[in-house]
Amino acid sequence: MSTVLVAIASFFGFLLAYHTYGRWLAGRIFGLDPRASVPSRQFRDDVDYVPTHKEVVFGHHFTSIAGTGPIVGPAIAVFWGWLPALIWVVFGSIFIGAVHDFGALVVSLRNRGETVGQIAGRIISPRARILFLSILFFALMIVLAIFGLVIAQIFTTYPESVLSVWIELPLALLVGYWVRRRGRHLLVPSLIALAVMYAAIYVGVYYLPITLPASVNPVMVWTAVLFVYCFFASVLPVWVLLQPRDFINSHELLLALGLLVLGMFAAGFSGQANLTASAPAIAAAAEVPADAPPIWPFLFITIACGAVSGFHCLVSSGTSSKQIEREPDAQLVGYGAMLLEGALAVVVILACSAGVGMGKFERQATGEAGQATRYVAVVQDGSPLVGRAAWRQRYDAQRGWREFKLVDKVGAFIEGGGNFLAALGLPLELGIGIIAVLVASFAATTLDTATRLQRYVVQELAATVRLRPLQNKYSATLFALATAGIIAVMKGAPALPRGTGGLLLWPLFGATNQMLAGLAFLVTAFYLWRRKKPVWFLVPPMILMIVLPAWALAVEIFGSGGFVSSRKWLLAGIGTIALGLQVWLVIEALLILPRARGVLEEALPDVPTASAATTNPTTSAVDLTAT
């Protein structure tokens, strides 16, 4: 029952927050106006700027922000106990993460869909623009290198997921064409595509798990294929692939989340899942690896996207703000999507504690490639390994913090989630296939959105320094993927194969990601400050998200056993640059702060209120997006 009660209390808190605090922000602070002009209509080009129904934008936004971040972070944070992780996820999502995403989205809406990096140049100072864009470049390079590796490892470890993930691409293209050219609704074809995907999961589990030949490096091959896909996803109009794929994925997540919650309730009421008996609420010293960092400040950095993420401000201001067709839609997209991601993180915490405690299993040797996937229960002393014993085997403190590999973190959620689905009567291998596809699909959505965002950043930086070749979207995308690819093809460690280079940058992901959140808060606070709007509700989360990541990053770089002392010069160099840029940007903001109150920033130049594309008789916002 403890599992069920925790889930119900958390979900109720998110619903209450949306209809109270979220509504207050939308009405009293930002004053969202349904009659206001929005970038998607002002600058409609049917490539990046496309007025879109709020449910479709919500699907794009949510699936872009809900990659592996809210899975990997909570999955490892339960080392410190499920209670600290749960408290931070619930309250962090409501008062920090959702406010951050919502603020960045609204400020971008009011600034022609510009990214937070561009807006910083006028809201704070011209130098702030270069500093912010430089930080964004490094942060997105890390995201591209890591998320490509995550998906490649999922494909390698869970070959039953490959067919369903890749079959979604032609389905999304067909849906995009059907909606755009035929003037059809998006909901029905996307649900049909979702049904095909789930049928492909069944086929992948029982008949066609796809593995690569032993003669090739599977991680390298999958990473290369993913980057090729990302190039086309970045340069194609959003309606061709991005929107339909994300809308299908949003239904996939809602269905999978629904199954997980139902399974959680079934397991909780039946006594199979017992949160308090499976994992420690607050871990004792002996239950935490000796080489683990201190819970303060690293809990907040480790959980990352499950409570607040700087990457979300890039999605809010990079793609979502260019698609919203009415200002009031920003509450659902900006504030609501983050609360749903918080709910996902709660499910992950419960899956990685109560779910893992339901039983330990392992893949059964299946002989030749292409045979059905099978899992068998791990037995100890003649009985299935369950409860605290199962949890301790997964979260073995003796293995060490750094030995808990990326695939282990993802695997903890897949294992626990599979147990929840098995409580509904689904075969264990099918449940694992569903969760593996879920994780890979959302990581892929984050990957292609991050590529498009990095393309924007490269183009903006190139325009600033007048580097004409990189101002083209094709060359900018190639440059974005090449810089991340150089890292990706390296070895993550001497004993690891090539293609694991994303692991080199993994230690920087949490701190640099949270650092972006603090800087985005700074931009939103200056926007309100210049308009004499209240900023008191932003000050505590802004300070928290500036200080905690800087503190954690400084410890990682210069602390005992840190990057410098262990001669990890790549990490030390990138980390020091990022930390220096953040300090510089904060100093810039403090210098201008006393003179900014009530003084509006420089206005954007006048432009026509609508592009020629707005009057294109072959399409309309209703045709494209009605559900």
User: Is residue 366, in this structure, part of any structural domain at all?
Assistant: no
CB 97 within 8 A of CB 340: no
- Strands 383-384 and 361-363: what pairing? unpaired
Q: What is the pLDDT of residue 155?
A: 92
383 forms bridges with which residues in the sheet? 380
Which are the contacts of 343, defined by CB distance < 8 A and separation ≥ 6? 10, 11, 14, 257
Return the number of other C-beta atoms located less than 10 Å from residue 547's C-beta: 12
**Distance between CA 91 and CA 69 in Å, rounded?**
17
Q: What is the pLDDT of residue 617?
A: 31
Report if residue 364 sits inside a domain. Answer: no
Rg for the chain, CA atoms, rounded: 23
Task: Please provide the distance, in angstroms rounded to a whole number, between the alpha carbons at the two ends of the chain.
Answer: 38
Buried/exposed 348-358: b ≥16 CB within 10 Å, e otherwise: bbbbbbbbbbb
Cβ(61)–Cβ(316) below 8 Å? yes
The residue type at 414: I
Q: What is the DSSP letter of 603?
A: P
Output the pLDDT for position 489.
86
Residue-wise pLDDT tens digits, 244-261: 888 888 888 889 989 999
pLDDT given for residue 379 in this prediction: 82
In a domain, 386, yes or no: no
Determine contact, residues 343/146, Cβ cutoff 8 Å: no
Is residue 223, in this structure, part of any structural domain at all? yes
Single pTM value for the model: 0.91
With respect to residue 503, please indicate whether it lies within any of the assigned structural domains. Answer: yes
Instruction: Say which CATH number the domain at 609 has.
Output: 1.20.1740.10
Q: Running along the chain, 627 residues long, what does each successive block of 10 average in pLDDT?
A: 90 98 97 95 92 92 85 92 97 98 97 91 85 84 86 89 93 86 75 94 92 88 93 90 86 90 94 93 90 91 92 93 96 97 96 93 64 78 86 85 79 92 93 92 87 91 88 94 90 81 84 91 96 96 95 93 90 91 90 91 70 36 35
Q: How many alpha carbons lie under 13 Å from residue 68 in its C-beta half-sphere?
A: 33
Please report whether residue 430 resides in a domain: yes
Looking up tokens 């995201």 gives: 143
Q: Return the pLDDT at 599.
A: 92
Element (H, E) at 460: helix 428-464
DSSP bridge pairs for 380: 383
Residue ranges making up the domain that contains 445: 2-358+392-625
Nearest CA to 487 among 509, 507, 502? 502
What confidence score (pLDDT) does residue 370 get?
A: 54
pLDDT at 179: 79
377 in a structural domain: no
User: How would DSSP label each residue in 566-593?
Assistant: TT-HHHHHHHHHHHHHHHHHHHHHHHHH
Number of domains in the chain: 1
Give pLDDT, residue 556: 93
Look at residue 202 and tell me if it is in a domain: yes
Q: pLDDT at position 35, please?
A: 95
Q: What is the pLDDT of residue 372?
A: 73
